[in-house]
A and B are shown apart, each in its own frame.
Chain A
Amino acid sequence: MEINDNSRNEVGNKVPFTTPDNYFEEFSAKIEQLLDKQEESNQVINLSLWQRVQPYVYLAAMFIGLYVSITTFVKPSIQQKQKEQELVELAIQKELLLDEIDDYALYELLSYNN
């Protein structure tokens, strides 16, 4: 078979595909509906100034709340822990000092005090 302009008369250039019944009518309606939905959602996007800044205000309030609770509850307990740690370290240091003194030096110290 030769494919040229004459062959189009022979074979035809009709596209051999069909569609479901009423496909094109339904297709237009479907797209129209989708565009309607898009337009509706675009209208929802037209928010007032307060509605636009609302999420940022809430976010800022959340951070402030977080800061206040940290400074009220978490910070003192950290400070308390630090103090306890310092006391423990001091006690260890004193104990180490006592360990370093040998028996003779202790005897000398006690007898000097007496």
Chain B
Amino acid sequence: MKEIIEESEILAMLASEQTKRKAFSWIMKTYQQKMYYHIRKMLINHDDTDDVLQNTFLKAWLHIASFRGESSLSTWLYRIATNETLDFLRSKKQTNEYVDIEDTLALSLQDTSYFSGNEIELKLQKAILLLPEKQRLVFNMKYFDDITYEQMSEILETSVGALKASYHLATKKIEKLILLMD
């Protein structure tokens, strides 16, 4: 049975050298799936996601001393994972200057192993990939993860109003794109 620990307890454990590692293991086991799917929805490819997830947790461990609990653990991890994902996409775009990364990702959706969706889900994923990066992030976080605009605002450092507008625009675009695909 999974042990349930309060975040305040984790903070106390992180403060001590003896229990720091145990606390981090708990954090990793608790949040790895959430972070994996957050990254995977942006990168599509499993191997790329695995690399970025690994970097996310190694970075989290490296900066664990700076985590003071001003935001929730989940917000803090989402922020690291998001930055790592965007950095990865940026570097991929730089190395493949003449290739449209989003097109490549859309193509790889069908080829990718580990895609379990049906036809409608595939269409939805393809439409999402046609959105600008930031809109894609906002849409994924709201639609799939049901993250509140307030938490999203902390993660993406964007105002709630702008996020609401971004999500609204994203849904309208997706509707149109799906109609075009039919």
Residues of A that sit less than 8 Å from B by CB: 1-4, 8, 11-20, 23-24, 27-28, 30-32, 34-35
Contact = CB atoms under 8 A, between A and B. Distances in A.
A30 B41 CA distance: 22
A57 to B, nearest CB: 33
Interface on chain A toward B: helix, strand, loop, or mixed SS?
loop
A15 B37 contact: yes
A15 to B, nearest CB: 5
Interface string B161-180: 00000000001001100110
Given A13-B144, A17-B37, A24-B33, 7 more contacts: A3-B174, A3-B178, A16-B115, A18-B116, A19-B114, A27-B32, A28-B32
B3 interface: no
B46 A15 contact: no
Interface stretch (B53-61, B65-73, B92-100): B53-61
B77 to A, nearest CB: 13
B117 to A, nearest CB: 3
B33 to A, nearest CB: 6
A51 to B, nearest CB: 24
A16 B36 CA distance: 13
Contact of A27 (B53, B121, B124, B178): B53
Contacts of B44: 17
A24 B175 contact: no
A3 B122 CA distance: 14
Given A4-B171, A30-B54, A16 B28 contact: no
B21 interface: yes
Nearest to A1: B178
A16 B125 contact: yes
A17 B175 contact: no
A16 B122 contact: yes
A18 B29 CA distance: 18
